Amino acid sequence: MEQGPILSPHILIFPAPGQGHVNSLLKLAELLCLAGFKITFINFQNIHERLVRHTDVEARFSKYYGFQFKTIPGCEAEDPRPADWVRKLFQEMEVKSKPIFKKMVIESNPAVNYIIGDGVMGFVYDVAVEVGIPTIQMHCISACSFWTFFSIPDVVAAHQLPIKGKEDMDRLITEVPGMERFLRCRDLPGGFCQVSHISDPNLFVITKEIRQSQALIINTFEELEGPILSQIRIRYPKIYTIGPLHNHLKTKLRSIEKQESYSSSTSLWEVDRTCITWLDNQPSQSVLYVSFGSITIMTRQQLMEFWHGLVNSKKKFLWVIRPECVINQDGDNLGEIPEQLQEGEKEKGYIVKWAPQEEVLAHKAIGGFLTHCGWNSTLESIVAGVPMICWPYFADQQVNGRFVTEVWKLGLDMNDVCDRGVVEKMVNDLMVDKREEFVKSTARMAELARKSVSEGGSSSSCLNRLIEDIRLMNMKAHGSDTYKDNLS
């Protein structure tokens, strides 16, 4: 696949230390490998160790010429509240990771020609600018949540924050262009922007990682987020929408390798595949899949409300419960899944600590998804045509949940109420009573997603444009004749 030193630029890709970010950027890395680029993929050490322990990524990527993994020491920030943890993590990165990363870039051999940094790690962009290497921010979140974070200074300037108590949660926020008619206080990013004081240290944590630039990459597709993308284009004239990335990669690999089924895990946890065997024995569209992603923490009480709601709904469910995701009243980790859940109602529910989610969502037995609306989960559900019940937890998830339910009409919103009665009703609405309306909207969106990554589709064309632009930029930097030939 090597195309010579000038046509084959060396690209450095660096994701934030989270499952969703590593997933998206590894997929982008593989797509760029397929285009013949040399990729160095940088991971935080602790993340990389888990990735290698639970997947075959090293073997899989070794087939790409010039691909290498590199690691950078992990950060040690800790806090039981995710938004506080993120704030501390970013502070630590700025102090500790930035200088190490800069040295790595300067000393890189072969020299780095282009840097794709995670949109939530502004320091990567800053280093690239400092050392004079072309760079772009890649946003692993939705366009709608990116745009909300971007617009927060205007929301504050218009005095639409802070939020004045629970009764203020349904007030409309009118300063995010394109969302004036439906974005409520409760839809602002949880943990960061739903503040009761403007001086809250978390308010601008994500916003200040966003850099002003000509271009950016977003893991979304035009047909899903067109109106919001039009708003973003006023500030960022060049946007490469190349999602849904997981489906894009699958489609490309299928067309190249002529493989019907392609599965590639990038999990940081050990995947329990027994749930696929369990699903194989369930009737079509009869099972609700329940997963709150890799970061969500819930109290034992919330867990039990979900449990009773699910059992009372009398629908079958497959539930992912990471043992570290449940805390007791003192905020301490429960460590183990309560026995009651493991023992009771076995014939109705199946619980695993980590599932092969993409495969689960694509399984014919799945009829709905109770989700925290993480962006990867949302896109995976959209591609699989599975309707959602939204229980957003923090960050971008609240905005995603609002778009899923109010704009795209792909599911139901729990409106933050974690109560067994609400869970039971939502499950029955989604799986039975309102099933018809969701079957149509989810099938339509799944088809649009599929088309966008197919040859000639919007995301496929954007990826080609990105590849071409990187090549041209590289040739220009080398002042090559090939570049001049290309222009003439």
| Nearer CB in complex with ligand UDP: 36/82 | 82
Beta bridge partners of residue 42, listed in sequence order: 70
Q: Does 355 bind ligand UDP (CB under 6 A)?
A: yes
Q: Is 280 designated active site?
A: no
Note whether 142 binds ligand UDP by CB under 6 A: no
What are the tokens at 189? 């990013």
* Span interacting with ligand UDP, options 58-66, 301-309, 355-363, 411-419, rule CB under 6 A: 355-363
145, 247, 376, 460: residue in contact with ligand UDP (rule CB under 6 A): 376
Positions of E strands within 321-410: 326-327, 349-352, 366-371, 388-390
Does 414 engage in binding with ligand UDP (CB under 6 A)?
no
Taking the complex as a whole, the smallest distance from the CB of residue 108 to ligand UDP amounts, in Å, to 29
Task: Find the binder of ligand UDP among 145, 219, 220, 357 (CB under 6 A).
Answer: 357
Q: Cα–Cα distance between 303 and 205 in angstroms, integer?
A: 29
Catalytic site residue from 21, 139, 246, 248: 21
Least distance from C-beta 392 to ligand UDP, angstroms? 10
Residues 326 and 300 sit within 8 Å (Cβ to Cβ): yes
Cα–Cα distance for residue pair 163/178, rounded to 1 Å:
21
The answer to the question of residue 291 lying near ligand UDP (CB under 6 A) is yes
User: Residue 49: enclosing H or E segment and its boundaries?
Assistant: helix 45-54
Report if residue 55 touches ligand UDP, rule: CB under 6 A: no
Query: Out of 15, 17, 18, 178, which residue is the one contacting ligand UDP (CB under 6 A)?
Result: 18
CA distance 466 to 460: 10
363 catalytic per annotation: no
Out of 10, 48, 118, 363, which one is annotated catalytic? 118
What the block records as the tokens of 61 is 């990527």
Virtual CA dihedral for 287, 288, 294, 297, nearest 10 degrees? Answer: -130
Compute φ and ψ for 269, nearest 5 degrees: -120, 160
What are the start-end ranges of the H helices in 120-273?
122-131, 143-157, 222-235, 245-257
- Report helix, strand or coil for 452: helix
Q: At CA 189, angle to CA 186 and CA 191, rounded to 5?
A: 95
Among 187, 380, 424, 429, binds ligand UDP (CB under 6 A): 380
Q: Applying CB under 6 A, does 20 fall inside the site for ligand UDP?
A: yes
Question: Rule CB under 6 A: is residue 118 a binding residue for ligand UDP?
Answer: no
Residues 256-275 as x/- pattern, contact with ligand UDP by CB under 6 A: -----------x--------
Q: Which residues bind ligand UDP (CB under 6 A)?
A: 18-20, 23, 267, 291, 293-295, 320, 354-355, 357-358, 374-377, 380
